[in-house]
Amino acid sequence: MYKKSKLNTWLWKWHFIAGLISLPFVLLLSLTGIIYLFKSDYETPRQKHIKEVTVTGTPISLQEQWDIANKNAIKKPNSLVLKTSPDQATEFVSGRFSNKSSIFINPYTGEVSGEIIGKNTTMYSIRKLHGELLMGGFGTKIIELIASWMVVLIATGLYIWWPKRGWKLKGYFIPRNNIDKRTFYRDLHAVSGFWISILLLMILAGGFPWTDVFGQNFKTIQKVTNTGYPSTWQGHQLKSTISEKAFTLDQMVVTAKALELPGVVSLGFPKGPSGVFSVSNFNPSDLTSQQSIYFDQYSGEPILKHTWKDVGILMRGRMWFMAFHQGEFGGWNWWLILITAILLTIMSISALASYILRKRKGSWGVPKVPASFKVGYGVILLIGILSFIFPLFGASILIILTIEYLRKYRFSKIS
């Protein structure tokens, strides 16, 4: 690839400015991401006294446990998580996503062993700090803007990194440590950025669906192109044929277990006399194994079955990248995300160190672009495409252009 020196300087200028502004947020994202990867390690020992019970005798019926849960839960449960061992407390779940809470019943004594409210956990706060800076919708948009600029930082960084003349091992693939500190930190930033560039783009792809503007636009495209979940996936339109006697919760659990679904299996409760039971499994390590099956609450007969094949291609891609983002495909994925987050932290700190060593007193150290340089149509087209894909990035470009115009206008007036 032939590199134009003036374009390289112009890209370096904006890479420098965007990097300097984004740096604190990128550090926050990488550090909170690292912490959240240890969610299970942190919560498991702290919740053990709630989730685990002593096996003593014969358990009471699930129907009775459901009644106890209904009387004691903050909000009436809408589903049950199927147990995988006798020493587990029975988990009844209320709400979904950020409003999710779980009450645990000791199946042998009928006592409430505890209740876990998602919003009250430490890891929930870490996740909210990671995704919205604890600032709600406004914070989410800031994170989306930073993530959009991170895509630009990766692209411009790779162009700046690309050698002008020939390839060398040192300086491009491993840092040089025999020149000076500033060169070492500069190389550490550039080299680590090169090695994790593709992984960072994949991680960002998994984070964008949670954003406000891009995420909503993506959902709209899924709906228009019919590439999301099928309209019957949640079973809202399904109804049971009302009869005299309904299936008990115990009978439905037997039916659900007979399906032998992998992962965490949930049994959704009917909503009203004509509602249906639902059985679904959450198995991010193998998305293709996920199913959603609905049963008549009176006969126990299956009404509708959905498998992963029924899910549209955009939703499949979205769920894959989101699972990858959270390291849910197993040990290899978890370690890959952890190493990438650590290298992102090192890359950010080394960029700051290089800048401090390079910066002259009384100057910001912004690279100077020759006055004769004109942005080519290809670059303008790329900026336009990125602005279309990432609207908040596009909005920030308009603000930058406006400020630049006003600055030049003011300078021309003074002169």
Q: pLDDT tens digits, residue range 121-135?
A: 999 999 999 999 999
Distance CA 51, CA 40 (A): 13
**pLDDT at residue 96 in the model:** 87
Q: Is residue 128, in this structure, part of any structural domain at all?
A: no
Q: Are strands 112-117 and 264-268 parallel, antiparallel or unpaired?
A: unpaired
**pLDDT at residue 153 in the model:** 96
Residue among 26, 301, 53 nearest 151 (CA): 26
288 and 242 in a common domain: yes
Arithmetic mean of pLDDT, 274-285: 95
**pLDDT at residue 1 in the model:** 58
Reported confidence tier of residue 75, pLDDT bands at 50, 70, 90: very high
Are the CB atoms for 112 and 103 separated by under 8 Å?
yes
Distance CA 12, CA 156 (A): 7
Distance CA 268, CA 127 (A): 26
Distance CA 346, CA 335 (A): 16
Radius of gyration over every alpha carbon of the chain, rounded to an integer in angstroms: 27
At 180, the amino acid letter reads D
Q: Is residue 269, in this structure, part of any structural domain at all?
A: yes
Q: pLDDT tens digits, residue range 166-192?
A: 788 888 899 998 889 999 999 999 999
217 and 142 in a common domain: yes
Q: Work out the percent of the chain whose per-residue pLDDT is above 90.
A: 84
**pLDDT at residue 44 in the model:** 96
At 10, the amino acid letter reads W
- Backbone dihedral angles phi then psi of residue 81, each to the nearest 5 degrees: -95, 125
Reported confidence tier of residue 105, pLDDT bands at 50, 70, 90: very high
Give counts: helices (H), strands (E), the chain: 12, 8
- Threshold 0.85, pTM exceeds: yes
Arithmetic mean of pLDDT, 11-37: 95
**pLDDT at residue 368 in the model:** 87
188 and 145 in a common domain: yes
Q: pLDDT tens digits, residue range 291-322?
A: 999 999 999 999 999 999 999 999 999 999 99
What tokens were used for 100? 């999710």
Q: pLDDT tens digits, residue range 340-398?
A: 999 999 999 999 999 999 888 878 888 888 888 888 999 999 999 999 999 999 999 99
**Structural domains of the chain, count:** 2
Q: Work out the percent of the chain whose per-residue pLDDT is above 70.
A: 99
Arithmetic mean of pLDDT, 69-79: 95
362 and 305 in a common domain: no
**DSSP 8-state assignment for residue 308:** G
**pLDDT at residue 350 in the model:** 96
27 and 140 in a common domain: yes
Alpha helices in 93-212 (DSSP H): 122-132, 136-161, 181-207
**pLDDT at residue 51 in the model:** 97
Reported confidence tier of residue 415, pLDDT bands at 50, 70, 90: low
275 and 239 in a common domain: yes
Q: Is residue 130, in this structure, part of any structural domain at all?
A: no
Arithmetic mean of pLDDT, 50-64: 95
**pLDDT at residue 171 in the model:** 85
User: Which strands make up the sheet holding 302-307, listed edge to edge?
Assistant: 112-117, 101-105, 90-94, 79-81, 264-268, 276-282, 291-296, 302-307
The helix or strand, by DSSP H or E, that contains position 91, with its residue range, turns out to be strand 90-94
Q: Is residue 43, in this structure, part of any structural domain at all?
A: no
Distance CA 61, CA 82 (A): 14
**pLDDT at residue 360 in the model:** 80
242 and 207 in a common domain: no
Q: Is residue 127, in this structure, part of any structural domain at all?
A: no
Q: Is residue 124, in this structure, part of any structural domain at all?
A: no
147 and 191 in a common domain: yes
203 and 279 in a common domain: no
pLDDT, the chain, mean: 93
**Final residue of a domain: which of 268, 284, 311?**
311
Surface-to-core class of residue 111, CB atoms within 10 Å of its CB (0-12 exposed, 13-18 middle, 19+ buried):
middle
156 and 24 in a common domain: yes
Reported confidence tier of residue 98, pLDDT bands at 50, 70, 90: confident
At 226, the amino acid letter reads N
Are the CB atoms for 125 and 134 separated by under 8 Å?
yes
Residue among 357, 375, 355 nearest 11 (CA): 375
20 and 64 in a common domain: no
**Final residue of a domain: which of 311, 340, 360?**
311
Range of the domain at 213: 5-37+136-221+329-407
Q: Is residue 11, in this structure, part of any structural domain at all?
A: yes
216 and 164 in a common domain: yes
What tokens were used for 245? 């006697």
Residue among 126, 23, 36 nearest 337 (CA): 36
Q: pLDDT tens digits, residue range 138-177?
A: 999 999 999 999 999 999 999 999 988 778 888 889 999 8
Going through 224-369 in order, the beta strands assigned E by DSSP cover: 264-268, 276-282, 291-296, 302-307
Q: pLDDT tens digits, residue range 193-240?
A: 999 999 999 999 999 999 999 999 999 999 999 999 999 999 989 999
**pLDDT at residue 365 in the model:** 82
Reported confidence tier of residue 2, pLDDT bands at 50, 70, 90: low
